[in-house]
Amino acid sequence: MKKFFGVIGNPIAQSISPQMHNNLFVYYGIDAHYHPFLVERGKLSEAVQGLKALGVAGFNVTVPFKTDIIPLLDWIDPLALEIGAVNTVVNKDGILLGYNTDGPGFLKSLEEELTLPKQPAILIIGAGGAARAIFFTLEKIGPSAIDLCNRSLEKAQSLAAEAKSHVPSNALTLDEAERRLNDYDLIIQTTTVGMYPEIGQLPLDPGGMNKPFSAADIIYNPYETEFLKRCRLRGAKTVNGIGMFVYQGALAFELWTGVEPDSERMRRTVLNQLGGATC
């Protein structure tokens, strides 16, 4: 019997998850299909109940629902509970289990593509579900600081206050962060600003950077956001969101099917969907 999987979010048209997972289902001979679901804000509870009623075997959760979905699930993995956000749900005989594969996926991508100094000073742009996953994951690698900046300063302050280690963490306004960019070795952009179709937008301007640094953006569509482009032009080593997207997806696929998928095949699928761009 065919199994159904999906991804919920708003917006959702930009997602390449369906192509990536459906390609894997065919490759591994699994009788399943993965579908995107646009969920209206304020309708998350109804959407989750609808998916459960349809017998969906599992689904991903993307912006803006990664934190809001937690009370709607029956069990939360300890890492996801610490992070306070869920991006992967497994339906086990009607019991909804929540996991977070964003943080581990991002860290694997970062370690694969960048060489960071010991105890790097890090700035995270954003304070949503993905920012939380990255914040709590990077705490464990021993940075000298992890500061947060966000359009809503209160959200950044709340996340910074939750730090469970001795890593210093300050909450900044976007203007404050722009003035202090040279304090950081790594800047991580976790918001939807600059995501397709609203390409060209900036969460903040990295033009004030005048020291060696690295920059990461969790957006993978477009392949290079305006933020990463401007960081690259300032001499930064940059990482887009494809690695994180692939690795978090691989972990989700394994949770759903028990199969550890070919991550390089997943990467090729994503690149093909983005038009084969390589720069």
Cα pseudo-dihedral 163, 164, 166, 171, rounded to 10: 0
Is 16 assigned a ligand-binding role in the annotation? yes
Taking the C-alpha atoms of residue 268 and residue 246, their distance in angstroms, rounded to an integer, is 10
Q: What angle is formed at CA 33 by the lines to CA 28 and CA 38, rounded to 5 degrees?
A: 140
Tokens representing 63 are 């912006």
Q: What letter represents residue 248's amino acid?
A: Q
169 is in an annotated binding site: no
Residue 15 in marked binding region: yes
Is 241 annotated in a binding site? The answer is yes
Residue 242 is assigned to a ligand binding site: no
Report in angstroms the alpha-carbon separations of 105 from 130, 218, 259. 11, 11, 17
Is 126 annotated as ligand-binding?
A: yes
Is there a binding annotation on residue 34? no
Say if residue 105 carries a ligand binding annotation. Answer: no
Tally of CB atoms within 10 A around 141: 16
Q: Is 276 annotated as a binding residue?
A: no
* CA dist., res. 231 & res. 153, Å (int): 24
Pairing state between β 88-92 and 95-99: antiparallel
* DSSP symbol at 124: E
The residue to which tokens 């979010």 are assigned:
9
Task: Tell whether 177 is in a known binding site.
Answer: no
127 is in an annotated binding site: yes
For the annotated catalytic residues, the residue numbers are 66
Helical residues (DSSP H) of 162-277, grouped into ranges: 174-179, 226-233, 242-257, 263-273
Q: 218: annotated binding-site residue?
A: yes
Torsion of CA 151, 153, 155, 158, to 10 degrees: 160
- In the sheet with 95-99, reading across from the earlier edge strand, the strands are 32-38, 3-9, 58-61, 88-92, 95-99, 75-76
Return binding residues for shikimate. Answer: 15-17, 62, 87, 102, 220, 248
Return binding residues. Answer: 15-17, 62, 87, 102, 126-130, 218, 220, 241, 248
Return binding residues for NADP(+). Answer: 126-130, 218, 241
